Amino acid sequence: MPTLSSYRARATSRACAFALTGLALAACGGPDSLTPKPDPIDITIPGLRAEGHGAVSERYTAELWVHGNTGYTTTWGSRTLNGVQAPGNAIKIWNVSGTTPLLLDSVIVAGVSTLGDIQATSDGRYLVVSTEPTGSLVIYDIQNPVAPSLVSRYTSPSISNGVHTAYVESVAGRLYAFLSVDARATRSRLVIIDITTPASPVEVFSQEIGNPVIHDVFVRDGILMAALWNDGMTIFDIGGGGKGGSPSNP
């Protein structure tokens, strides 16, 4: 019966044989040649290598959301390339089914220079995007993921300063967007929009908050968490904390 040492001896001899074969093939220019193969794409950070890279040169790429095999990125600010200036008003649509993202199309949001957060609803039916400095919340139907169609664009005095971040989550069977609104002429605000009927969003809560701004929010299990810049983080009950709170009365 073969012993452990005999298995090791066989493995060693096979490894040596493979190594010698490889060197012979290399010397002859065979299929296992030691000629260096192209490295994976090296983006810009030393020590990190990317599987694939989808370039966007005319605009700055900002936020990202992926649903299934489709990726969506927003764009930010204003970028000038070869004397041509482009605002951050484009949603880029990508095929991310492979290791290299493939740019398929763009959707332009009129009247803005920065697109903020982007998120698909959990059922993959709608895509929600926030805008700055002209504040709005834009909702697209993405039943065809690579061809978003506009459903509604919500604006109000409460979000006119610009929507910096938006988080979409269900609470008690209804769908809400939780918005961090910029401080400009007025203080920053937390604004909550009921988007259960995407064609007719309804503002259910608006409150000045933050020192000096509210920068981001997160929602889980009926709990709303807010990042308040100089004041750290605050947690609110909106239906899951047992304090009687709701999205309309955190």
Strands 233-237 and 223-227: antiparallel
pTM: 0.80
**Domains plus CATH for the chain?**
56-237 (2.130.10.10)
* pLDDT score at 44: 60
* pLDDT score at 43: 57
* pLDDT score at 8: 36
- Give the three-state DSSP class for 78: strand
Q: What is the pLDDT of residues 118-149, one digit of tens each?
A: 999 999 999 999 999 999 999 999 999 999 99
In our burial notation (b when 16+ CB lie closer than 10 A, e otherwise), range 18-54 reads eeeeeeeeeeeeeeeeeeeeeeeeeeeeeeeeeeeeb
* Residue 226, token pair as written in the block: 């807010």
* pLDDT score at 48: 78
**pLDDT-flagged residues of the chain (< 50):** 1-42
H/E segment holding residue 91: strand 90-95
